[in-house]
Chain A
Amino acid sequence: MLAAAQGSVTTGWNTLAPFAQTQFTNIAQQIVDIEAQLAAGSITQTQASLLLDMQKNASRAALLSVEGIGLLTAQNAINAALGAVATAVNGALGFALL
Chain B
Amino acid sequence: MIHPLRTAFIALAVMLLLTTLTTSCKIQLISDYDSVLDQDVTTLQQSTETFLNQLQNEVGTPAAAYSANTDFYVKTNASLATMATRAASQPKSKIIVGEVNALQSTYTDMQKLHQLNGDKGLSAANIANTRSALESEFTSILTLELALKANAAVPSGALAPAKTQ
Contact = CB atoms under 8 A, between A and B. Distances in A.
A24 to B, nearest CB: 9
B18 interface: yes
B136 A23 contact: yes
A79 B159 contact: yes
Given A23-B136, A47-B113, A53 B144 contact: no
12 contacts: A15-B147, A19-B140, A37-B125, A43-B125, A51-B133, A54-B106, A61-B103, A61-B136, A64-B102, A64-B140, A69-B147, A97-B19
A46 interface: yes
Contacts of A96: 164
Given A54-B129, A72-B29, A98-B18, A61 B141 contact: yes
Interface string A77-98: 0111011111111110011111
B99 interface: yes
Contact of A61 (B99, B113, B129): B99
B89 interface: no
- Which 6 residue pairs spanning A and B have beta carbons closest together? A83-B160, A54-B133, A58-B136, A80-B159, A61-B140, A86-B22
A30 B159 CA distance: 41
Nearest to B21: A82
A64 B99 contact: yes
A71 B29 CA distance: 6
A85 B18 CA distance: 9
B46 interface: no
Interface of B: 15, 18-19, 21-23, 25-30, 95-96, 98-99, 102-103, 105-106, 109-110, 112-113, 116-117, 125-126, 129-130, 132-134, 136-137, 139-141, 143-144, 147-148, 151, 156-157, 159-165
B37 to A, nearest CB: 13
A47 B19 contact: no
A8 to B, nearest CB: 7
Nearest to B138: A61
Given A65-B141, A72-B148, A57 B133 contact: yes
Contacts of B156: 79, 83
B144 to A, nearest CB: 4
A75 B126 contact: no
A63 to B, nearest CB: 9
